[in-house]
Amino acid sequence: MKNINLIAILGPTASGKSALALEIAKAIDAEIFSLDSLSIYREIDIASAKPKKIELEAVKHYGIDELNITEANNAMVFKNLLEDTIKTTQKQTLLIVGGSSFYLKSIIEGLSPIPTISSAQKEEINAHITSIKNPYEFLQQIDLSYANCIKPNDTYRTHKALEIFFNTQIKPSEYFRSHPKIPFPYSIKLYEIEIERETLRARIAQRTDQMITEGIVEEIASLVQKYPKDSQPFKAIGAKECISYLEGHINYAEIAPLISTHTSQLAKRQITFNRTQFKNISQLSSKEIYENILYILK
């Protein structure tokens, strides 16, 4: 197994993860793996707050512009990309940075191999699942044991469970029992940026205004003309509010306040998730994380 330092810098959206990672990477000659559910998509640039060209040129980034908008993004996609990055990078340290902590937790705990499925089969199965009035209730009917392990509003796991069922004709609980999780072979040092709530809210508002100024509405308007509206990235915060405006459900003045509100709610969920779902995570200020990483890598 390759000898490499894997360090994850987590934190709520707009907490300064990307800027901190860039500063650290320059100081220790590291590279960055982006664990961001929007930056992974090509053409989603403003809505994802994707690193600027000058930043991408200063430090090599992985996990950015990897998927087309119509492609699905999930934990297995990130796991495969991360493993490829570990094999590819020539640096001693890789910084894993992003707000998609759910994916990182899944990678660390291990993922069960998912059955191979063609694009045509996947589209057919997804269409069938979409046509089901209440997918979670359907899951309860076919596999109450597995349904009881997830929350009714966990649409991602419900969908994946039904995908497995319709593809294999095996109950999800039985499938996962016969296909146990494969643990991630590398150790990952975890940090979370601590930031005052009011400071975070101000940063979220500022970033939202910047997105509006840079043209997030125009970006999404252009993309929904080219791709299906049910594409995964269009369901993300920022994109969905712009689509709501474009469809006439809200007025222009409501876009920024709604994005800020929804982003603040997401940030709260991210903080709770990071502090309850990860063991041995160090919660420090950006300055303390910087100093700590440089110290341990001396």
Cα torsion 50, 53, 58, 60 to 10°: value is 60
- Single out the residue of 99, 97, 101 nearest to residue 23, CA to CA: 97
Selecting from 3.40.50.970, 3.40.50.2000, 3.40.50.620, 3.40.50.300, what CATH number does the domain 5-109+183-296 have?
3.40.50.300
Determine the pLDDT at residue 79: 95
Collapse the DSSP code of 259 into the 3-class scheme (helix H, G, I; strand E, B; otherwise coil) and give the result: helix
Q: Whole-angstrom Cα distance, residue 298 to residue 190?
A: 18
Cα torsion 177, 79, 123, 67 to 10°: value is 180
- Single out the residue of 36, 4, 30 nearest to residue 17, CA to CA: 36
The answer to whether 110 is a known ligand-binding residue is: no
201 C-beta neighbours (distance < 10 Å), count: 16
- Is residue 157 over pLDDT 90? no
The answer to whether 48 is a known ligand-binding residue is: no
Place of tokens 């474009």: 246
Q: What is the pLDDT of residues 184-231, one digit of tens each?
A: 999 999 999 999 999 999 999 999 999 999 999 999 999 999 999 989
pTM of the model: 0.88
Q: What is the pLDDT of residues 108-150, one digit of tens each?
A: 999 888 777 777 888 899 889 989 999 999 999 999 999 999 9
**Crossing angle of the two packed helices 101-109 and 75-88, in degrees rounded to 10:** 70
Determine the pLDDT at residue 81: 97
The answer to whether 16 is a known ligand-binding residue is: yes
CATH code for the structural domain at 119-178: 1.10.20.140
The answer to whether 14 is a known ligand-binding residue is: yes
Determine the pLDDT at residue 65: 97
Higher pLDDT among residues 183 and 41, named by residue = 41
The answer to whether 18 is a known ligand-binding residue is: yes
- Is residue 97 over pLDDT 80? yes
The answer to whether 15 is a known ligand-binding residue is: yes
The answer to whether 106 is a known ligand-binding residue is: no
Q: What is the pLDDT of residues 246-288, one digit of tens each?
A: 999 999 999 999 999 999 999 999 999 999 999 899 999 999 9
Examine domains 5-109+183-296 and 119-178 and report if their fold is the same.
Answer: no
Give backbone dihedrals phi and psi of 250, rounded to 5 degrees, phi first.
-135, 165
Domain borders along the chain are: 5-109+183-296, 119-178
Q: What is the pLDDT of residues 39-80, one digit of tens each?
A: 999 999 999 999 999 999 999 999 999 999 999 888 999 999
For residue 17 the two structure tokens come to 């993860």
Q: Whole-angstrom Cα distance, residue 296 to residue 154?
A: 38
The answer to whether 122 is a known ligand-binding residue is: no
- Round the average pLDDT of the chain to a whole number and report it: 94
Q: Is residue 94 within 8 Å of residue 30, measured between CB atoms? A: yes
- Single out the residue of 162, 161, 168, 71 nearest to residue 115, CA to CA: 168
Residue 222 identity: S
